[in-house]
Structure 1
Amino acid sequence: MSNTTEERISEIVNGNDVVLFMKGTPLFPQCGFSSKAVAILEHLGVEYATVDVLQDMEIRQGIKSFSDWPTIPQLYVKGEFVGGSDIMMEMFQAGELQQVMDDAGVKAA
């Protein structure tokens, strides 16, 4: 992974309170897991940014090394890696994801 890719990912992760690396876009998710992740964030009503990894192969590969997590989507809150869609769903159902957003002071959409 080139330094520039890691730097780009770092800038995205640290430049947004909530960012979802996903396949596709919120309006047109390209996989069920990305669709589920977007639905959870929409339900929480928080402001979030997305990165379509299908549009950028360097980011698609780089994010897996960056987080040491093999799959996409990946959610970051205030620069911290939270997890993929299964972890998001478990945390959401337990009320933990809302708590993470509240604790991080994430703005409502």
Structure 2
Amino acid sequence: MTDQATIDAIDNAVKTNDVVLFMKGTPTFPQCGFSSVVVQVLDYLGVEYVSNNVLENMAIREGIKAYSSWPTIPQLYVKGEFVGGCDIVKEMFESGELRDFLKEKGIELADA
């Protein structure tokens, strides 16, 4: 069971940052292939984002799954909205849907 303080910390991170990625590792040193894929997509699009390394905090690692009702990591949030994990982000990127979604949310992108 995840404690309320952990849920509050996750909720604060999601709601006070435009783009948040909960991942294994860091953007410069992802610790799993799925996290690496999402980092590559965000970097390619030139999105500024905040990352949370769930490997540094077991409470956050388990809490983010409860928070989103999504069982896997990474998890991407934009303007407080859960977007999805690696497969969803990758599919949205490949179809062009992710770029459109980010633009609709007012997120600045590189001209890639």
If the TM-score is normalised by the length of the shorter chain, which range does it land in?
over 0.9
Q: CA RMSD in A?
A: 0.9
Correspondence for 2:10: 9
| Runs of 5+ consecutive residues of structure 1 not aligned to the other structure | none
Correspondence for 1:69: 70
Normalized against structure 2, the TM-score is what?
0.95
Separation in 2, partners of 1:107, 1:98: 10
Normalized against structure 1, the TM-score is what?
0.97
Letter aligned with residue 16 of structure 1: N
Q: Report how many aligned residue pairs link the two structures.
A: 109
| Runs of 5+ consecutive residues of structure 2 not aligned to the other structure | none
> 3-state SS of the aligned residue for 1:20?
strand
Letter aligned with residue 13 of structure 1: V
Runs of at least 4 residues of structure 1 off by over 4 A? none
Q: How does 1:1-109 map to 2 (within 5 A)?
A: 1-108=2-109
TM-superposed CA distance for 1:106, in Å, is 1.0
Identity of aligned residues (%): 59
> 3-state SS of the aligned residue for 1:102?
helix
Contact 2:103 / 2:109 at 8 angstroms: preserved in 1? no
1:23-62 deviations in whole A, cap 9, x for unaligned?
A: 0000100000000000000011111110000001000000
